[in-house]
Chain A
Amino acid sequence: MSYRVDFTLKHDLKKFGIHDWNECFHCGNCTAICPMTKTGSLFPRKDIRLLQMGLKDKLATNLDPWLCYYCGECTETCPRDANPGELMMSLRRYLTSVYDWTGLSKKFYTSHFWEFGFIFFFFCAVIASFLIWLPLSGNTAELINDQGGVMINNLVAGISGASFVNIIEIGDWTMAILVAGLLISNILHMFYRVVIRDKEVKVPVYAYITEFWSLIWQFMTQSKFSKCEGKTYWVGHLLLMTGYSIMFAVIVVLLPEFQIEEVRPWYNWQRLMGYYATFGILFFLVYVTISRIRKSDWKSKFSHPTDWLFIVMLGLTTITGILVHIFRIGGMVSATYYMYVIHLAVLVPMILVEVPFSKWSHLAYRPFAIYFDRLKEYSRKSQNENKLVRAA
């Protein structure tokens, strides 16, 4: 089967962050130095070649970019300054847009107008919704509880207690289901492109079950990541991931338990979990921001606009969340209300853009890529064995 070369692909990919695509002359140093290279694979050299030749179909069935965690060893070793590490990063951006059937991902990656327009629209929509339908209650003096904190569920005029939590919870679930739906459909699309359309593999049904543990294990521990150089990054990333997972659980599933009127003592387990999550997210954000500004390691040297956007959005969400917490404990009624509105106005577009369409989608693509890769390897192995049996 032959693949058609595509002269235009590399031009299309420039907006995803690929610039020096032609520098590579295929010496293979990157493959030799990469701690992720498996025996017989040409990772990442082969991926650069597919890109140079514009073999679109071959690239779309290719999982390699997700198996790279960007330690930067390849880029450091490259004698041509072809920057294979950043090339793999850019390929992940591209593949995100390939898996996304809605086409929005491509729009967000390649057009500032679309990306910032989308974010700005939802930012304004959240603020407007609050100001119009859920305005601050006029009766601020009655909103202080026994501990001197703000009674957050009574902030909105005319709605009290559980009703307000319900409104937010409905919003949470709607967003969660929407985002999850998009992600799952994109993963099914990825599965179709990567496994079904790849004529060279035939995966036996039981392999789907036997290999499933790798999906869970990788999602929880990112143990493959730990094989790369630089363990700080892996620890930091794990802190971020667990912190974010806790926050997600608390906000979406346990909201009625979380957003309550009384101020709990500091040693309450829910508060401690919240502090851990906040610390985890902040630690990694500060670490990443400093390395990207200083360009201190290879993976931080080249920042695509979407990398910064992600940091800024998550940073703003975290800071506004912390401020809501401080204002509430401090009994500052109006400040709590407005900060709560801003917090949601940042959080909503961040989740809507990042999780299904942009950088954050890797939370699903990476573990699934490892899972699909294991399936393909399983199929290759069993096909080889069959061949050997037939030959014998």
Chain B
Amino acid sequence: MEEIRIGVYVCWCGTNIAKMVDVEAVAKAMREIPGVIVAKDYKYMCSDPGQELIIQDIKEHNLNRVVVSACSPRIHELTFRKALENAGLNPYMFEMANIREHDSWVHTDRAEATQKAKALVAGAINRVRWHESLDKRSVEINPATLIIGGGIAGISAALEIADAGKQVYLVEKQSQLGGTVAKLDLLFPHLDSAQQLIQPKINRAMNHLSIQCFLNAEIREVFGYIGNFEAKVYQKDDLETEIQFGNVIVATGLKPFDPSKIDQLNYKRLPNVITSLELEEKLLSGNLVMDNGKDPKHIALIHCIGSRNKNHHEYCSRTCCNTALKYSNQIRSAFPDAAIYEIYSDIRSFGKGCEELYTHTARQDVMFLMYDQKGEVPKITEARHSEKVNMMLEFREQLSGEHVEVPADLVVLMVAMEAHENAKEIAHAVGVSMCGNSFYIEKHPKLDPVATTTGGVYVVGSCQSPKDIPDSVSQARAAAARIMADINFGSVEVEVTTAVVNEDICCGCQTCISVCPYTAIHFDAEKNVSVVNEILCKGCGTCGSACPTGAIRSRHFTDKQILSQIEGLMSMQLQH
């Protein structure tokens, strides 16, 4: 067996790690471990000079294993594998120890955090000893793309790909394309028509030769991996269509918050309390009246309903401020003498042309009243008969500190954007993760905002977080560009960390088949052994841990590797 020569690199991550972990001490301690040839610390290992340092050391010291202790492997494992490859090493001869998320960010005692870092790195060193060279596998890319969701984001991505001559399957839950944008009247900040924007796109998508639209349709499960997915599209009347595709774009959009969860708004109980989307309906029909058919004289717009409040959603829904400002302008042109109240908690009118919209609106004779969205929302009650108005709003106005009454004939609730109820099912079907708000998580919030940790699956638009139209379209086209690049290249390298069955040991008990969550194992009756379908296997390791004979081995997650890692961890703790 060849001599094991390990290089260890401890990253400062600026001050992210260095302020809580004594990185020099960690590197020094690692030099004592047998097999470690070099151990260094550096300010940013992921930077070009940082990677160059590793490459030079591999060449100079003839290293054959590398450990980087830095951030999460989810962020930079591929970066460093690439570096190893550039230096002529097999990329799997690498292990990463996470001393940022698992250590410096979550601890407050520098000495203890440093000790923990030593243990984590020692574990990684012990593990990397047992790493094996794995051959990368390259797979052909199926040039078709599945897009789930036919709103502005889905349509934009579909047209982008289809215009390049590639097949698109566009699956829409509703009976028509267009999503939320198709329900809107005018758009901020320039008050142009939403219908003129979306309808031509819908027509083009419906009639495009390269786009197959499935309406009233849903996807329940997606099988396969990047380049080679397959799924069934379920439509009405038990209509099922099997499709194959190489990439998936999830563009399932948003759902408006239900304000009847907030009791004192009296939504549904008072007929003239409506949501922003219900106001859009009225505006689209050109009939902005109260339930009795009369013109409203006092109109109140309440911001942040369901947003920025721990009881509902902590996030800002991002578009409601600008939408409310848009309403003020629309209402002002419909009723020049009406009293308009913007009951806000902070005006967030960022974006191109949006601050200008705010400035313009503030001059449209609109009364801005500030309430505390973290505390009580305005209480809406029916006005007394002697009053000339329909309803009365009561709340504490923040800038004056006074409790005020605001008369209103029509109240518009600027409801939050939230994820669909079935976001979880779709997440499970395509293999993306969700954050606490049920929005899908992108691969990197800044550097990889449309990809996910599952290769070939992209998330765009408001299913990823509340978004306006320009941002949704940008994301859609970004994902389309990523996919077109892969299709153009023709093939893609995939992870080989799947399970393999040692047919000599396998007893044919089929335990693995019953536990596999991806139905990736089938039984070969002739040989009386289990066989893993590497296309479907996601390398989760469930079968490996269930196998009574140890016949199933998860590549890159072997028992030996994991047990050695634990030994390494414990060795450092005992020394302390």
Contacts and interface: CB of A to CB of B under 8 A. Distances in A.
Interface of A: 1-5, 7-8, 22, 26, 46, 49-50, 52-55, 58
A5 B341 contact: yes
B498 to A, nearest CB: 60
Contacts of B403: 1-3
Contacts of B368: 22, 52
Contact of A26 (B362, B399, B402): B399
Nearest to B339: A7
A62 to B, nearest CB: 11
A50 B339 contact: no
Nearest to B366: A22
Contacts of A54: 367
B404 A55 contact: yes
B311 interface: no
A22 B342 CA distance: 13
Contacts of A1: 403
A52 B403 CA distance: 15
12 contacts: A1-B403, A2-B404, A3-B402, A4-B404, A5-B405, A7-B367, A22-B362, A26-B399, A46-B400, A49-B399, A52-B367, A53-B397
B394, B404, B407: which has the most chain A beta carbons within 10 Å?
Answer: B404
B405 A3 contact: yes
B406 interface: yes
B576 interface: no
B394 A5 contact: no
Given A3-B402, A4-B407, A52-B368, 10 more contacts: A1-B403, A2-B404, A4-B405, A5-B406, A8-B339, A49-B399, A49-B400, A53-B367, A53-B404, A55-B400
B339 A2 contact: no
B400 A22 contact: no
A5 B343 CA distance: 12
Contact of A2 (B298, B341, B405): B405
Interface string B150-186: 0000000000000000000000000000000000000
A5 B367 contact: yes
Contacts of B407: 4-5
A154 B19 CA distance: 101
Contacts of A58: 402
Nearest to B394: A2
Nearest to B298: A7
B500 interface: no
A5 B369 contact: yes
Contact of B400 (A4, A8, A53): A53
A3 B400 CA distance: 11
Interface string B516-531: 0000000000000000
A22 B367 CA distance: 8
Contacts of A55: 400, 402, 404
Interface residues of B, number: 19
B268 interface: no
A53 B369 contact: yes
A50 B341 CA distance: 15
A3 B404 contact: yes
B290 to A, nearest CB: 18
A366 B369 CA distance: 31
Interface of B: 298, 339, 341, 362-363, 367-369, 394, 397, 399-407
A26 B401 CA distance: 12
A55 B402 CA distance: 9
A7 B403 CA distance: 16
Contacts, number: 49
Nearest to B398: A26
Contacts of B341: 5, 7
A46 B407 CA distance: 22
Shortest 4 CB-CB contacts between residues of A and residues of B: A7-B339, A2-B403, A49-B400, A4-B405
Contacts of A49: 399-400
A49 B399 CA distance: 7
B365 to A, nearest CB: 8
Nearest to A7: B339
A2 B402 CA distance: 7
A283 B403 CA distance: 48
Contacts of B363: 22
A50 B363 CA distance: 18
Nearest to B340: A7
Contacts of B362: 22
Contacts of A53: 367, 369, 397, 400, 402, 404
A22 B369 CA distance: 12
Nearest to A20: B363
A114 B555 CA distance: 96
B155 to A, nearest CB: 39
A1, A5, A8, A46: which has the most chain B beta carbons within 10 Å?
Answer: A5
B351 to A, nearest CB: 19
Nearest to A22: B362
A49 B402 CA distance: 10
A3 B341 CA distance: 15
Contacts of A2: 394, 402-405
Contacts of A5: 341, 367, 369, 404-407
A2, A3, A52, A55: which has the most chain B beta carbons within 10 Å?
Answer: A2
A5 to B, nearest CB: 5
A179 to B, nearest CB: 37
Contacts of B394: 2
A49 B368 CA distance: 10
A196 to B, nearest CB: 20
A55 B403 CA distance: 11
B570 to A, nearest CB: 59
A209 to B, nearest CB: 32
Contacts of A46: 400-401
B214 to A, nearest CB: 50
A54 B404 CA distance: 11
Contacts of A50: 400, 402
Nearest to A47: B400
A8 B404 CA distance: 16
Nearest to B347: A25
A26 B368 CA distance: 12
A58 B298 CA distance: 21
Nearest to A24: B399
Contacts of B369: 5, 53
A289 B156 CA distance: 67
A330 B421 CA distance: 100
A120 B437 CA distance: 73
Nearest to A11: B365
A5 B404 CA distance: 7
Contacts of B298: 7
A24 to B, nearest CB: 9
A5 B339 CA distance: 11
A273 to B, nearest CB: 49
A119 B406 CA distance: 41
B298, B368, B402: which has the most chain A beta carbons within 10 Å?
Answer: B402
A58 B363 CA distance: 25
A10 to B, nearest CB: 8
A26 B402 CA distance: 15
B191 to A, nearest CB: 20
B368 to A, nearest CB: 8
A3 B369 CA distance: 13
A50 B402 CA distance: 9
A11 to B, nearest CB: 8
A20 B200 CA distance: 44
